[in-house]
């Protein structure tokens, strides 16, 4: 049986996140800089000859049809592939954290099964499939850090300085829908430009979702307060409850509240699976 083991699915941080408007269909328009970090899920794949897609949870239990299963089925549907797969999912990236864990799993599944099934689907087609699964999936397929606009589908590669971060995930999660439906959400940030961001990449802007998130989830405020107690200026990443700060000096991770995961993370130079699909990294 053909297999692929220990396939990484890295998380991301939103270095900033601005909402610049809203489309007629209700989708929010955003600007953000996404940075890949070394907090990863790990996936295992075995080919099934019967065409079925099955999944084994190697850490905590996932929904019956998670994004890895949906991604595998979407790739089958797009290509007519009759092969199946058994997917083992070892989760590490927390759920409802704003770190893109599920989307990254979906992207790594598309890349891995494209190779394992011998399909040779070009990267752009994988990104089109991925966008139907979630707005962040194309970013994780793109191969590196990125300036992201629109609803997440407009991706411009970014060169960013290597950095370390303290990432803190409170026990409570956040439902993205509750944040984006809140009438208090700031939706009118002025559009930024890449050159303005690049001059101060690691402290540029803010996360427009943070004020609403703190109202909905007091644990976010507590996590930010702990970072402040360590002399760090924290902010929320994405639309989940995780917060982060650029690491400028040594901190005592053991002093974080017991209900929180506090982790030292490093940026990645590129996605570990860059080049796994024809045409490789976006240019």
Q: Would you please indicate which residues are annotated as catalytic (active-site) residues?
A: 12, 136
DSSP string, 135-179: TTHHHHHH-S-EEEEETTTEEEE------EEEEEE-SS---HHHH
Distance of CA 59 to the CA centre of its chain: 19
8 A C-beta contact, residue 75 and residue 114: yes
Dist. CA 214–CA 122, nearest whole Å: 41
- The SS3 assignment for 250 reads coil
Tokens of 214: 């703190």
Dist. CA 172–CA 168, nearest whole Å: 12
**How many other β-carbons are positioned within 10 Å of the β-carbon of residue 116?**
17
8 A C-beta contact, residue 174 and residue 96: yes
Best CA proximity match to 39, nearest among 18, 14, 16, 8: 8
């Amino acid at each position: 049986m053909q297999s692929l083991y220990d396939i990484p699915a890295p998380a991301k941080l939103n270095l900033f996140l601005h909402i610049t408007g809203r489309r007629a269909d209700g989708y929010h328009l955003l600007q953000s800089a996404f940075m890949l970090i070394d907090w990863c899920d790990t996936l295992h794949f075995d080919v099934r000859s019967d065409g079925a897609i099955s999944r084994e949870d190697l850490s905590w239990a996932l929904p019956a049809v998670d994004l890895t299963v949906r991604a595998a089925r979407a790739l089958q549907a797009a290509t007519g592939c009759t092969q199946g797969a058994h997917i083992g999912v070892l989760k590490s990236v927390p759920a409802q954290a704003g770190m893109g864990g599920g989307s990254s799993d979906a992207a790594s599944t598309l890349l891995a099964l494209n190779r394992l099934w011998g399909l040779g689907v070009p990267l752009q087609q994988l990104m089109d499939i991925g966008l139907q699964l979630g707005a962040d999936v194309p970013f994780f397929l793109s191969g590196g850090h990125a300036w992201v606009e629109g609803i997440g589908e407009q991706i411009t590669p970014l060169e960013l300085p290597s950095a370390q971060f303290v990432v803190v995930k409170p026990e409570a999660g956040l439902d993205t829908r509750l944040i984006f439906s809140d009438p208090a959400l700031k939706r009118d940030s002025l559009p930024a430009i890449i050159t303005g961001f690049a001059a101060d990449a690691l402290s540029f802007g803010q996360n427009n979702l943070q004020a609403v998130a703190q109202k909905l989830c007091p644990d976010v405020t507590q996590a930010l307060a702990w970072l402040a107690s360590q002399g760090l200026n924290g902010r929320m990443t994405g639309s989940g409850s995780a917060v982060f700060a650029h690491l400028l000096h040594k901190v005592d991770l053991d002093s974080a509240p017991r209900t929180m995961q506090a982790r030292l993370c490093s940026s990645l130079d590129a996605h570990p699976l860059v080049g796994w699909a024809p045409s490789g990294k976006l240019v």
